[in-house]
Amino acid sequence: MRTKRVAIRNHQAESQLFFRRAVTSIVLVGLIFLILLINLYRLQVTSFKEFQTRSNSNRIMVLPVAPNRGLIMDRHGELLAENTPVYSLEVIPEEIPTLRATLEEVVELLNLPEELVDQFFNSLRQSRRFPQIPFTDNLTEQQVARFSVNQHRYPGISVEARLQRHYPHAELFTHAIGYVGRINRKDVERLRENDSYANYAATRTIGKLGIERYYEDTLHGQVGYQTVEVNNRGRVVRTLEFNPPKPGHDIYLELDLELQRLAYEQLEGRRGAIIMLDAQTGGVLAFTSAPSYDPNWFVSGISSARYRSLLENPDNPLINRATQGRYPPASTIKPHLGLLGLVDGIVTRETRVWDPGWFEIEGVERRFRDWRTYGHGWVNIDKAIIESCNTYYYDLALKLGIDRISEFMSKMGFGERTGIDIHEENSALLPSRDWKRGRYGEAWYAGETVSVGIGQSYWTVTPMQLATTTQLLATNGRKYVPRLLRATNHEQGIVFNPIQERPALEINNPRHWATIQSAMAQVITNIHGTAHNSFKDASYTAASKTGTAQVAELSVDADDNRIKNEDVAERLRDNATYIGFAPVEQPEIIIAIAIENVGGGGRNAAPIARVLMDSYFSSLRENNAPRSFINSQEEQLPAAAPGTAHTEVTDANN
C-alpha cells in the first residue's frame, strides 16, 4: 500500500504574496491621502476666496430697512397723520410644513377672526419678496403675551414690533389726506416704471389716495440697509453694519383742523361737500366730503365684509364729493353769466326785463317757470342776482347763445380740472354744441340754452370748481391753482409751497367786476336777498349767491304750483348750492357748498357758510394774527387785489 504524500507549505511564496499585497495597499492608501491633501490644498489655498464668499453668503445677509414715513400736519402743526408702534404676527411660510392648519390653530389660540387665514393666502399669492409675511396687525398686549408663552410650538411665526400709519381724526380728513395700504401688484408695476422699486425693498405700504398718494415721494423717504449675521435657521445673531434709512419729509397742509371739524359737523347726517379757500393764495382751509369713512381700516388691510359695506352703502362714502361730485350749479352761476352779459354788451346795469313768473321762447309752447309763481316784475342785473330771478337769466342765456356761454365759462375754469394736488378729481361737464353732437349725434336746441341759463340742463360742476371760479369773481379775475400743501420740512428747514397763479381773466371793463361783487353783497344786505336772514347781523361784510338744483322734474298741481319737496321721496328733493366770499372789500376766504336732496334750496346752505365765516373771523380777532402754524416763517403773500367793489357796495347799502 502506497502512502499519500503531504504537500509541504511554501513559506517563501507566501511571503512574497503578502509583500506584494502590502505594497499595493500602502500605495493605494498613499494615493488616497495624496488626493485628500491635494483637495485640502485646493480648498484651503487655491479656492479660499471663493469658498469664503460662499460661506459668508450663508452666514451674513444684507437686509433692507424701511424708512419712517413723514408726518402730515395742518397749518398750525396739529397732527393729521402719524406713525404709531404696533405688534404684528409675522409668518415665514417656508418654515411651516402644515401652513393652513398651523394658522388656524393660531387663530383659535389668539381668538382672531377666521377670515384672516384666507386673507393671508391672498397676500401670499401677491407677495413680492419678503421672507416674512404679516398675518395680522394691532395685536393687544394680552395676545402678545399669550403667543409668547406658546411660541415654541410655532416655529416660523413670530411677533414683531414696527411703526404703522395712523390717522388720529379718523373720517374727518379722509378725502383730503387719503390713506396708505399694502403694496399690491399694480403698485409694484408703477414703482418699476418710475425706477423706484429698489427704494421700497422693505416698505409694505404705499399711498393709495389723496395727499398720501400725491406726495408719496416726499413722504416715503430713502431705504436703509443693515448687514447681519444669521444662524443656520436664518435668525439674526448680531448686526455687523447699519446704514440708517432717511425718513420721509414732514409736510404741513393748508387745512385748518378746527374749520375742517366744524365743516364736517355741519354736514352730519347729510350728503355733500364744503370747500373753503384762502382768497389770495388758493390754499384750501377746509376740504370736506360727507359721508366719510375711517381710513385706518385700510392701513393693514380692510376685511371683505367691511369693504363690502362701504361699496353697498347707498350714500357712497367712497366718493370724494369735493372734487368728484358732479352737481348742477343752479343759480350759483348767475353772477358768472351776468358778468358775461355785461362783458359782451348784451345787458348793462340799467337793462330791465319783465318777469311775469315765466318765460317763453317764440314758437315753443313750453313755459319756463320762475321759482316765484307771480314773478319779480321789472328786473335788472342787480335784482336778478339779489332775488335769484330765473326769467332774467332765461332771457340773457337765449340772447348770449350756447357758443358764447361755453367759451366764456371755459375761460373761467368750468369743464376742466382745477389742478388741486390730489389725483381724485374730475372735470365735470360744461355743455356745448359740439359736445352734444359728439355725445348724442343731435343738434343743440334753444330750450337747452334757456336751462343752461339757470345752471341746469347738462351742466355739472364740482364744488372745487365752484370755489375756484368764485375766487375769480372775488379777486377781479385772478386765477389761483388750489393747493393742499402749505410747506415741507426739509433738512435745511421749512420750505413753503409756492403760490401757483394762472393768467388772469381779462375783461373789457374792470367796473363789471364791481357790478357783480356789489350784487352778490346785496344778496346779504338787501332784505329781499336770498341769504339775508343768514347774515343780517354779521360783524363783517360778505357776498353770496345761493342755488337750488332740481334733481328730478316735478309735476305741478291743479293751481299750476310745483309740488313741494317735502312731499316727494328724499332722493328726488332739490340739492342746495352756495358760493360766497368775505370780506367784500378785500376778500380773504371763499366758500362753496353743495348738499344733496335737502329741499328748500340754497337757503339751507347759507347758514352753514355763516357758521364757518364766523369761526374764521372770530379766530382772527382772538389771535390778532394770520391763521398760520408758525408766524415767524410765514411766507410773503402777494398783495390783495384792489377792492373795486367797496364804493359800489356802500352806495347800494345807502
Q: Is the pLDDT of residue 371 over 50?
A: yes
Percent of the residues in the chain that have a pLDDT greater than 90, as a whole number: 56
Query: Is there a single domain that holds both residue 238 and residue 266?
Result: no
Going by pLDDT thresholds of 50, 70 and 90, the confidence category of residue 76 is: very high
Query: Is there a single domain that holds both residue 365 and residue 489?
Result: yes
The mean per-residue pLDDT over the stretch 455-479 comes to: 96
Q: Is the pLDDT of residue 495 over 50?
A: yes
Q: Which of 132-136, 192-196, 637-641 has the highest mean pLDDT?
A: 192-196
Going by pLDDT thresholds of 50, 70 and 90, the confidence category of residue 133 is: confident
400 Cα distance to chain centroid: 38
Do the domain assignments include residue 87? yes
pLDDT averaged over the chain? 86
Going by pLDDT thresholds of 50, 70 and 90, the confidence category of residue 249 is: very high
Res 56: pLDDT = 57
Do the domain assignments include residue 311? no
* Element of type H or E holding 161: strand 157-166
* Between 608 and 22, residue with greater pLDDT: 608
Task: Tell me the residue type at 43.
Answer: L
Going by pLDDT thresholds of 50, 70 and 90, the confidence category of residue 641 is: very low
Res 649: pLDDT = 28
Determine which of 56-60, 353-357, 507-511 has the lowest per-residue pLDDT on average: 56-60
Res 651: pLDDT = 30
Q: Which domain holds residue 595?
A: 257-294+322-635
Domain of residue 368, CATH code: 3.40.710.10
The phi and psi torsions of 610 (rounded to 5 degrees) equal -60, -45
Query: Is there a single domain that holds both residue 233 and residue 262?
Result: no
Res 630: pLDDT = 41
Query: Is there a single domain that holds both residue 355 and residue 209?
Result: no
Determine which of 122-131, 327-336, 352-361, 625-634 has the lowest per-residue pLDDT on average: 625-634
Query: Is there a single domain that holds both residue 144 and residue 226?
Result: yes
Contacts of 303 (CB under 8 A, 6+ apart): 113, 115, 119
Active site residues: 331
Convert the pLDDT of each residue in 391-427 to its tens digit.
999 999 999 999 999 999 999 999 999 999 999 999 9
Convert the pLDDT of each residue in 308-328 to its tens digit.
999 999 999 999 999 999 999
Contacts of 427 (CB under 8 A, 6+ apart): 415, 416, 417
Q: Is the pLDDT of residue 578 over 80?
A: yes
* Between 637 and 509, residue with greater pLDDT: 509
Q: Is the pLDDT of residue 552 over 70?
A: no
Res 640: pLDDT = 33
Do the domain assignments include residue 225? yes
Do the domain assignments include residue 21? no
Do the domain assignments include residue 46? no
Query: Is there a single domain that holds both residue 248 and residue 272?
Result: no
CA dihedral 437, 438, 439, 444 (to 10 degrees): -20
Distance, in Å, from the CA atom of 430 to the CA atom of 272, rounded to the nearest integer, reads 21
Res 289: pLDDT = 97
Going by pLDDT thresholds of 50, 70 and 90, the confidence category of residue 127 is: low
Distance, in Å, from the CA atom of 272 to the CA atom of 281, rounded to the nearest integer, reads 25
Q: Hey, CA dihedral for 199, 201, 204, 209, is it positive or negative?
A: positive
Distance, in Å, from the CA atom of 274 to the CA atom of 285, rounded to the nearest integer, reads 10
Distance, in Å, from the CA atom of 575 to the CA atom of 602, rounded to the nearest integer, reads 8
Give exposure, 45-55, as e/b (b: 16+ Cβ within 10 Å).
eeeeeeeeeee
Q: Which of 237, 253, 269 is the last residue of a domain?
A: 253
Q: Is the pLDDT of residue 647 over 80?
A: no
**Strands of 284-290's sheet, edge to edge?**
284-290, 272-278, 589-595, 575-582, 543-549
Q: Is the pLDDT of residue 36 over 50?
A: yes
Query: Is there a single domain that holds both residue 92 and residue 221?
Result: yes
Domain of residue 217, CATH code: 3.90.1310.10
The mean per-residue pLDDT over the stretch 31-60 comes to: 74
- Quote the number of domains for the chain: 2
Res 112: pLDDT = 84
The mean per-residue pLDDT over the stretch 518-544 comes to: 94
Distance, in Å, from the CA atom of 424 to the CA atom of 320, rounded to the nearest integer, reads 7
Q: Which of 203, 235, 253 is the last residue of a domain?
A: 253
Do the domain assignments include residue 202? yes
Query: Is there a single domain that holds both residue 277 and residue 326?
Result: yes
Res 228: pLDDT = 79
* Between 595 and 235, residue with greater pLDDT: 595
* Between 222 and 562, residue with greater pLDDT: 222
Give exposure, 87-112, as e/b (b: 16+ Cβ within 10 Å).
bbbbbbbeebeebeebbeebbeebeb
Query: Is there a single domain that holds both residue 474 and residue 554?
Result: yes
Res 623: pLDDT = 63
pTM (global) more than 0.85: no
Do the domain assignments include residue 25? no
Cell of 443: 343738434
The mean per-residue pLDDT over the stretch 110-125 comes to: 79
Query: Is there a single domain that holds both residue 204 and residue 262?
Result: no
Query: Is there a single domain that holds both residue 429 and residue 506?
Result: yes
Q: Which of 196, 231, 253 is the last residue of a domain?
A: 253
Q: What is the CA radius of gyration of the chain?
A: 37
Cell of 143: 395676545
**Is residue 486 within 8 Å of 75, Cβ to Cβ?**
yes
The size of the chain, in residues, is 654
Res 511: pLDDT = 95
**DSSP 8-class letter at 187:** H
Query: Is there a single domain that holds both residue 538 and residue 611?
Result: yes
* Between 300 and 351, residue with greater pLDDT: 351
Angle, nearest 10°, between helix axes 646-653 and 511-525?
40
Res 644: pLDDT = 31
Do the domain assignments include residue 34? no
Q: Is the pLDDT of residue 626 over 80?
A: no
The mean per-residue pLDDT over the stretch 385-389 comes to: 95
Q: Is the pLDDT of residue 437 over 60?
A: yes
* DSSP output for 488-542: EEETTEEEEPPP-EEPP---S-THHHHHHHHHHHHHHHSTTSTTHHHHTT-SS--
